[in-house]
Amino acid sequence: MTEGQAVHGEYKVPGGKLVVVDVDTEDGVLRHVRVAGDFFLEPDEALDAANAALEGAPADTDAAGLAARIEAALPAGTVMYGLTCEGIGIAVRRALAGATDWTDYDWQLIHEDPQPPALHMALDEVLTAAVAAGRRPPTLRVWEWGAPAVIIGSFQSLRNEVDPEGAARHGVEVVRRISGGGAMFVEPGNTITYSLSVPESLVQGLSFQDSYAYLDDWVLGALGDMGVRAWYQPLNDIATDQGKIAGAAQKRIVGPGGGPGAVLHHVTMAYDIDAGKMTEVLRIGREKLSDKGTRSAKKRVDPLRRQTGLSRAAVIDRMIESFRGRYGLAPGTITDEERARAAELARTKFASAQWTERVP
C-alpha cells in the first residue's frame, strides 16, 4: 500500500458479524482508523476507544498485538456481540495487505459425474494451479466419488494409517493428497466432499488457522439453515454437539514466477458412515481417539444424514444454494486442457506407488 492512501478491509468473525476497517498510514504508523460493522457493542464509547487504541500503532503490528491494544483501552464492562478484539485486528491486517473479499469474484461451480479417487486428487492440483495463474475464476468443486477410498494426508505414513488387508477386503483404493492433515475414509453416497480453489488474496492478513475458520464459515451457515448447529474446531474440524462431521485441509500453490498464488481448501463431510468398516480399513489409534474426547471411532464422526433428515443430494443442493445466495455462483466446466492435464497427473503421480508410498 502507499502511505497516506486510505485502505479498506473486511472480516467476518466466524459465527459472528462483519467488521469493516478503513485506515491510512503515515510514517509507518496507523492513522485515521475507522472501525464499523453490523456487530453490537456497548457502551457507545467503546467504539471510539477501539479507534483511538489503533491510532498511532506501528503498521507492522500483527493482529494479536492490535487486539491487545484494543483490549487494554476498552471501558470497563464493555460488551461485544458478534465482535472480538482479534477480529478488529484481523480486519486491519487485511486492509493493509490489500485482501480481497468473497464478493469481489465471479465464482464458478463444478459438479460432475463420479470420478476415480486419483483423478479427484489431480483435479484439485490442476484447478488450483489454474486459479493461481489467473486462467480460471475462484471455483467451488463438489465431488462425486467413483469408488470407495482412503485419502491420506501428504505427510502421513501409509503403513501407520491404513490396514492393507482391510482395504483389499473392502475394495478400498488408497490415494495420497497434496495437502496435510489426517486420513479420510469415503464411500460413494455416504460422503460429501468439496474443494475451494481461491486466490491467495482472499486470505491475505489471516493466520493459517484463521484462514480455515474464514473459508469454513459459509458452510457453517448452510448447515445452520438445515438445523445443524455446527462450529469450527481448530485446527481443521467442523463439529456439532453430536460429534465431528467434517475435516478440512489446505495447500498453498505458488503463482507463476513465484508471484501471488492460490489456496486449495477441501473438506470431507460424513453424510453417512459404516464405522465398523472404517475401523477395519483405518488404523485409528487410541491416542487419536483420546484426542477427540471419545473411546470409540463410531462416536468420532456423526453423520449428517441423521442430523438433517435430508437426502445426500438435498444436503448438497442446499449447500450450493447457500453459497450462491452469499457470493453468487455460476455453472462452470473443466476445460479440455485442464481435464487432459489432470488425467496425465492422475496416471503419473496420484495413481503411482511412488507417490502413495512416499512416506511408507
Alpha-helical segments (H) within the chain: 45-54, 63-73, 85-97, 117-132, 158-161, 164-169, 208-225, 275-281, 286-291, 297-300, 304-308, 312-327, 336-345, 353-356
Q: At what angle do helices 85-97 and 63-73 cross, to 10 degrees?
A: 140
Return the pLDDT at 290.
45
Q: What is the DSSP letter of 349?
A: I
Does residue 237 belong to any structural domain of this protein? yes
On whether both 114 and 81 belong to a single domain, the answer is no
User: How many Cβ atoms sit within 10 Å of the Cβ of residue 272?
Assistant: 14
Does residue 133 belong to any structural domain of this protein? yes
Structure confidence by residue, pLDDT tens digits, 208-222: 999 999 999 999 999
Exposure letters 125-157 (e unless 16+ CB within 10 A, then b):
bbbbbbbbeeebbbbbbbbbbbbbbbbbbeebe
On whether both 152 and 68 belong to a single domain, the answer is no
Return the pLDDT at 337.
98
Domain end, chosen from 97, 114, 143, is at 97
Does residue 190 belong to any structural domain of this protein? yes
Structure confidence by residue, pLDDT tens digits, 246-292: 999 999 999 988 888 999 999 999 999 998 899 999 997 534 444 44
When divided into structural domains, the chain yields a total of: 2
On whether both 335 and 250 belong to a single domain, the answer is yes
Return the pLDDT at 289.
44
Structure confidence by residue, pLDDT tens digits, 155-175: 999 999 999 999 999 999 999
Residue pair 203/12 in contact by the 8 Å Cβ criterion: no
Best CA proximity match to 195, nearest among 249, 112, 265: 265
Domain end, chosen from 97, 117, 146, is at 97
Does residue 1 belong to any structural domain of this protein? no
pLDDT at residue 130 tops 50:
yes
On whether both 190 and 218 belong to a single domain, the answer is yes
CATH number of domain containing 350: 3.30.930.10
On whether both 221 and 277 belong to a single domain, the answer is yes
On whether both 198 and 297 belong to a single domain, the answer is yes
Does residue 262 belong to any structural domain of this protein? yes
Does residue 108 belong to any structural domain of this protein? yes
Structure confidence by residue, pLDDT tens digits, 291-350: 444 444 555 677 999 999 999 999 999 999 999 999 999 999 999 999 999 999 999 999
On whether both 145 and 252 belong to a single domain, the answer is yes
Does residue 158 belong to any structural domain of this protein? yes
On whether both 83 and 229 belong to a single domain, the answer is no
Q: Cell numbers at residue 120, please?
A: 479427484
Does residue 2 belong to any structural domain of this protein? no
On whether both 330 and 253 belong to a single domain, the answer is yes
Return the pLDDT at 258.
87
Return the pLDDT at 286.
38
For the segment 231-252, the average pLDDT, to the nearest whole number, is 93
The model's confidence at residue 1, banded by pLDDT at 50, 70 and 90, is low
pLDDT at residue 37 tops 90:
yes
For the segment 115-135, the average pLDDT, to the nearest whole number, is 97
Length in residues, the chain: 360
Domain end, chosen from 67, 97, 127, is at 97
For the segment 99-109, the average pLDDT, to the nearest whole number, is 96
On whether both 328 and 207 belong to a single domain, the answer is yes
pLDDT at residue 151 tops 90:
yes
On whether both 85 and 132 belong to a single domain, the answer is no
For the segment 65-93, the average pLDDT, to the nearest whole number, is 97
Return the pLDDT at 2.
64
On whether both 81 and 133 belong to a single domain, the answer is no
pLDDT at residue 122 tops 80:
yes
CATH number of domain containing 93: 3.30.390.50
Range of the domain at 72: 7-97
